[in-house]
Structure 1
Amino acid sequence: MKLDSAGLQILSRQECVTLLASASIGRIVFTDRALPAVQPVNFVLDGENIVIRTGFGSKLAAAASDAIVAFEADEFDLTARTGWSVTAVGPARAVREPNEIKRLSALPLRTWAPANRDHYIVVRAEQITGRRLSSRHDERET
């Protein structure tokens, strides 16, 4: 098991993809008016691509289309002090091709927000990194 300088387990790309597939909420990091912005989103994986539904004309749809973005998902157990975090970086694109929209609409991705969300953004995860905090942490740090 490979550890980073903080003692966290470094995850392989496949482990990262498996963990991302187990999550339903993540955060997309994009640029909005030349400033970093973070927005929580529900998502689904399509292979290794991250698929997000949003409203056409939303701030996210406008800013993330044809841009390099970061995406992060995690899960933590505060009582056990265990968890994982995975970050993906890559280009985001708005889906405009009708056949691809139809295919993506069949994925198990249901929006939580009440507004119309018929616009898809796909993030190609070129870089995926992750860390895991196991239950074997140093108890002296409590």
Structure 2
Amino acid sequence: MQQQATSPAPVSRQLSRDEALRLLGNVTFGRIVFISRAIPALRFVAHAMDGDGLLIGLRYEPEIAALLRRVCHVVYEADLLDAATRLGWSVVLTGRAGLVEDPQEVKQAQIRLQAWPGELVDVVVRLRPELVTGFQVAAGPLAS
């Protein structure tokens, strides 16, 4: 009688701050969540790492621009998950965000940010994460 080989069971583990930020640098899109008109609002956006912070590119919306003209708290989430295997990672940043208003800095950021097809990056936001959390799900007990 033949035995079938089985895949190791997936293992979930928490990521350190450094691991989470490194993984975040491997993707270019995520979701920003902020409070608008007393309810959570979410936008799918482009991002690029900026040291330990994050540059976020958005399409101009007067309400978002007004909100971010003053520094406010936001949540940012990005992930890379395989639907078939259910393996991958997810990272969440919570921190203060504000508009980048220097025209030269905005131009440089727009070059780095890869907008979603059909979208423009009109507004650049800098997020300074205060809390960085994340987890990774990998195959097998030796996953790291």
Q: TM-score range by the shorter chain?
A: 0.7 to 0.9
> What residue number does 2:27 align with?
23
Q: Alignment partner for residue 140 of structure 2, among 133, 136, 139?
A: 136
Instruction: Kindly report structure 1 stretches of 4+ aligned residues shifted beyond 4 Å.
Output: none
Between structure 1 and structure 2, the one with the greater Rg is 2
> What residue number does 1:45 align with?
49
CA deviation string 1:44-66 (max 9, x = no partner): 11112111122333443333442
Q: Which has the higher contact order (CA 8 A, sep 6+)?
A: 2
Distance in 2 between residues matched to 1:74 and 1:97, nearest whole Å = 30
Q: TM-score, normalised by structure 1?
A: 0.79
Q: Which runs of 5+ in 1 are unaligned?
A: 1-6, 138-142
| Contact 2:88/2:137, CA 8 A, preserved across alignment | yes
Distance 1:85 1:102, change over 3 A: same
Partner-residue secondary structure (3-state), 1:8: strand
| Contact 2:57/2:110, CA 8 A, preserved across alignment | no
CA deviation string 1:67-113 (max 9, x = no partner): 1000000111122221111000100101112342244234x213225
Q: TM-score, normalised by structure 2?
A: 0.78
| Contact 1:55/1:61, CA 8 A, preserved across alignment | no
Q: Mean Cα displacement is larger for which, 78-87 or 12-21? A: 78-87
Q: Alignment partner for residue 54 of structure 1, among 29, 52, 58?
A: 58
Distance in 2 between residues matched to 1:88 and 1:38, nearest whole Å = 14
Q: Percent identity?
A: 34
Partner-residue secondary structure (3-state), 1:22: coil
> What residue number does 2:87 align with?
82
Aligned partner letter, 1:26: G
| Contact 1:70/1:90, CA 8 A, preserved across alignment | yes
Aligned partner letter, 2:61: G
> What residue number does 1:10 align with?
14
> What residue number does 2:6 align with?
none
Q: Mean Cα displacement is larger for which, 71-80 or 11-20? A: 71-80
How many Å apart are 1:114 and its aligned residue? Answer: 3.8
